[in-house]
Amino acid sequence: MANIKLKDNIGESSLWYDEWVSDQSKSLPQGQPADEKEKFKFIGQYTKRIDGEKIVTGQARYTHDIKLRDMLIGKILRSPHAKAELFSVDLNTAKSLPGVKAALQVNQGKILYAGQQVAAVAAVDEKTAEKALEMIKVEYKPMPFVVTEEKAREEGAPQVHDERPNVEERRGYSRGDAEEGFKQADAVIERTYKTPIEIHHPTETHASIAMWQGKRLTIWDSTQAIHSVRDQLANALQIPAARIKVIKNYMGGGFGSKLGLNEHTVVAALLAREAKRPVKIMLSRQDNSLCVGNRPSSNQTYKGGVKKDGTLTALTLLNYTSGGIRGGDRASEPIIDVYKCPNVKVEEYNIYTNTGAARPTRAPGLVQGTFGLEGFIDELANEIGMDPLELRKKNYTTKNRGDTGIPYSSKGLDKGYEIGAREIGWNRRNKVPGEGNGRIRQGIGMASGIWWGAGVPGTLADIKLHPDGSVEAICGTQDIGCGTRTHMAVVAADTLGLDPQDIIIKIGNSDYPWAPLSGGSLTTPSVAPAVRDAALKAAKRLQEMAASKLKVPAANIILQDKKLFDRDNPENALPFEEVMKDLPNETVFHGERKGLPIGYAYNTFGAHFVEVEVDTVTGKIEVIKVVAVHDSGRIINKQTAESQIVGGITQGLSTALFEQRIMDETIGRMVNPNLRDYKIATSMDIPEIVPLFVDIVDPLINILGTKGLGEPPRIPISGAIGNAVYNAIGVHIREIPMTPDKVLDALKEKEVGR
C-alpha cells in the first residue's frame, strides 16, 4: 500500500528562478557574448510554425489522445471533506467488480482539502472504473476546517497544519530606513490592493499514462517538465532515473500547473505495476480546479512617501498571501526592484487554508505584486498632481534593488515607455482622473513590468548530420505552446544556411539531452543558445570539409541558401548535400547553453498601455486597445512571440475582469470548479492588441542575446487596466476581478465622498 507524498515544500516561495540561475552560473564557464550586428535570415523575422499543419488537421497527438494496447483507465477517489481523518478504506467490493484490474489506497494520513486523493482503481474502461470508485467504502472522521483567508486569520480558527500556525511570517526585505523616508516626503498615502485565487485551467486536463516493461517505466505525461517528472518519479518510486522515460509530444496548456510531478502520475505507475498493464489517468475539469495548483491570493497594503518633484522617499508593503495548504507567492519583487527608492521595507505572511496547494501560475507573485504596486504608483502620482508616466520615468533605474544593487545586463524599458506612449496616444488621457462626462467614460492607463528570463546554463542540445543531407536538432525540452520546435529550427537553419523546414526537430523525450522545465520564461534563452552552439560546431566541420574541396581557407566559407561557398568568390560553391555525403554515419555535435557573467542582473521588462471604456450605469469595463512593448532581448521568431504577447494580455485581462475561485465556507468546497461558473475571457472580451518589441540584443546574456518572453506579457496588464479605469472614472478599483458590482460600489462611494 502506497502512501504517496511529494516533496514537501510547504511555505516555500514558488519563485526559485533567480536563485537557480545564479547557482548554476557559478559552476559553468561563461559563453561568448552575442554579436549585436550579426544579421540573420530567419532569426528575428516571421517564421510560421513548422508543425502547424499537424495542429490544424487534428494530427498532433496529445497525452489525451494516446491509447496503448491493453491500456486500462485509472480513476481516483477524492475526499469530499475539507479536513478529516481517514479511518478505513475498503477496496474489496470494488475489486470484485468485473473489469477492475487494480485498486489501491493512496492516502493513509489526514485529509487536508476537499479533492485530496484517497484511493484509486484501474479498469478496462472509464465506466467500469467510475462504478468501482462508487464501491469503495471510506470511513472519514470529519474535522473542523477553514477555507477562506479571512476566517483562517481569525483567532481560534481551526488550524490547517498541526506543526505551524495559520498565519506564518515569510522572509522579509529591508533597505534604508522607511520611517525616516516618510518624514522627508511631501505626501504619504496608504492603500490596500487585493487579488483572489485563480485557477490555471489548461484546456488539456492533467493526464498521465504509465507502462512498465520489466523494470523499465515509460510515462506519457501532459507536462511542462519531462526531466523533472522523471527525476521526481524516480525518487517517489525509489527506482533509478535511468530506468524511466518521460514523453510529451504535445500538451494542451499548463501555465505552471504542469511544472513537476503530479500525484496522479505516481498513482498511474503504481496501478500499472499492480495490473501489469498500461494505465491512463486523465483528470476531470473538477479535479483540475481542486488538486493541481492555483495562483495564491494577495492582500497588499502599500505605504509610500513622495516629494512634490516625484522623488520616492520610502515604500513599504505588508502582504498576506494564501496558497491553500501550501505557502503563497511573494508579491514584493516589484516594490524591491522596479523604482528608484532608497528606503524600502517588506513584510509578508502566508495564510494556510484547507484548500488545494498553490503552484506557480504564469508570472507567480509578479501578477499580484504588479497589480498592487502599479496601482499605488498611479495613486501617488495623483496625490502630487503629476503625470503617472512622468513619475515612473523620474524614478527609472539601471541597477536592480531600486538602483542600489548590480547593473542590469540590458534594460529597454525607457524605450518601451516612449514607444508605448506614442502608440496609445498618451496625451489623449484625462489630465485629472474621471474628468470626463456622460454614461460611457474613456480612460487611458499604463503599467510597467519586470521578470527574469535569462535561461538556464547547462542546457544541452545536439545537432545530428546524416550523409544523405538530412539534419536533426535534438533537445530534451518540450513545446508547451510557445513554438519551441520552430525556434530550434530557425536557429539551426540560420547557422547552417538551410530553411527551418529542412531541420528535423526531436524534443519531448527525457532520453534526449537535458533541458530545464518549460516555465519561468526559461525555454528559449536556454534552448536556442544550446542549439546555436551545436550548430556552430556542425557548421565549422562542414566549412573545413568544403574548404579542402574548394581550395580556400575554412574561415572563408559561408553557409547560405543550402550552399557552401567562398566569400570572395561565391561562384566557387558546393551544394550542402554534396558536402554532407562525405560525412560518416550520424555525426553528432553537442551544444551547451553556457554560463552567465557574474555581477549583472538579468531581467526582462515590459510596459503596457491600455485604453478602456467604463459604463457608469452597468459598471461594465470594456478594454478597447492594448499596446504592449517588451524588452526580451533579441526575438527569435516574431510570429510566435507576438502570439505570446497576445496570449499574456488576454489572460491578464481575464484576471483583471473575471477570474476568481469561490469557496463555500459551510461545506468547505469550491463553488465554481468548471468553465461556466469560473469565468475566463472569451472571444467577446478581446480588445485590439498591438504587440511591439524594443529589440535590444542583450550583450551579455547568451550567444544570441535573447531573453525569455513567457511571463512578461502577463505581468503589467491587470495593473494597466486598473489604472485606465482609474483614469476613466476617477476612483481606483483596488481589488480584482474588477466586476461590475465593484465598479458601481466604487462610483457610489465617490459620489457620497463628494
Partner 1 sequence: MEKENKGNALTRRDFLKGFGTGALGAAVAPKLLAQEAESIQTKEGKIPVYSKKQITLTVNEKKISMIVEPHETLLDVLRDNLNLTGAKKICDRGECGGCTVLLDGKPVYSCMFLAIRADGAKITTVEGLAQKDKLHPVQQAFIDKDAYQCGFCTPGFVVSSVAFLNSNTNPNTEDIKKALSGNLCRCGNYFKIYQAVDQAAKQMRRP
Residue number with CB closer to partner 1 (77 or 480) = 480
Contact criterion met (CB below 8 Å) for 523 and 530:
no
**502: helix, coil or strand?**
helix
Which residue, 52 or 144, has its beta carbon nearer to partner 1? 52
What sign does the dihedral 349-355-356-362 (CA atoms) show? negative
CA–CA gap between residue 516 and residue 523 (Å, rounded): 7
DSSP-derived 3-state class of residue 663: strand
CB of 92 to partner 1, least distance (A): 8
CB 226 within 8 A of CB 510: yes
Q: Which is nearer to partner 1, 254 or 412 (CB)?
A: 254
Cell of 268: 498511474
- What is the smallest separation between the CB atom of 639 and partner 1, expressed in angstroms? 5
Query: Could you tell me the smallest distance in angstroms from the CB atom of residue 252 to partner 1?
Result: 3
Q: Which is nearer to partner 1, 504 or 680 (CB)?
A: 680
Min dist CB 688 to partner 1, Å, is 8
Q: Nearest approach, Cβ of 572 to partner 1 (angstroms)?
A: 38
Please give the C-alpha separations between residue 694 and each of 176, 528, 632, 633, in angstroms, as whole numbers: 33, 20, 8, 8
Residue closer to partner 1 (CB basis): 202 or 606 = 202
What's the CA gap between 287 and 208, in Å, rounded? 14
Nearer to partner 1, 400 or 640 (CB): 640
CB of 249 to partner 1, least distance (A): 11
Nearest approach, Cβ of residue 742 and partner 1 (Å): 23
Task: Give the CA-trace dihedral at 34, 39, 45, 47, to 10 degrees.
Answer: -90
Q: What does the binding site for partner 1 look like in residue numbers (CB under 8 A)?
A: 48-49, 52-53, 55-62, 64-65, 67, 93, 96-98, 127, 131, 135, 201-205, 250-253, 255, 284-285, 480-483, 639-640, 642-644, 646-651, 654, 674-676, 680-684, 686, 688-689
List beta partners, residue 443: 612
Q: Which residues pair with 631 in a beta bridge?
A: 605
According to DSSP H, which parts of 328-462 are helical? Answer: 333-337, 366-383, 388-394, 400-403, 413-424
Closer Cβ to partner 1, 595 or 713, answer by number: 713
Q: Which is nearer to partner 1, 560 or 639 (CB)?
A: 639
Task: Give the shortest CB-93-to-partner 1 separation in angstroms.
Answer: 5
Pick 344 or 720: Cβ nearer partner 1: 720
Q: How far is CA 656 from CA 10, 417, 723, in A?
A: 28, 22, 11
In angstroms, give the least distance from the CB of 136 to partner 1. Answer: 11
DSSP for 560-608, please give it: ETTEEEETTEEEEEEEHHHHHTTSPSSEEEEEE--B--TT-B--EEEEE
Shorter beta-carbon distance to partner 1: residue 28 or 97: 97
* Shortest Cβ 672–partner 1 spacing (Å): 12
In this structure, what C-alpha cell is assigned to residue 388? 503617472
Cell 566569400: give the residue.
567
Torsion angle of C-alpha atoms 543, 547, 552, 553, degrees rounded to 10: 50
- Burial of 601-638, coded b for 16+ CB within 10 Å and e otherwise, reads bbbbbbbbbbbbbbebeebbbebebbbbbbbbbbbbbb
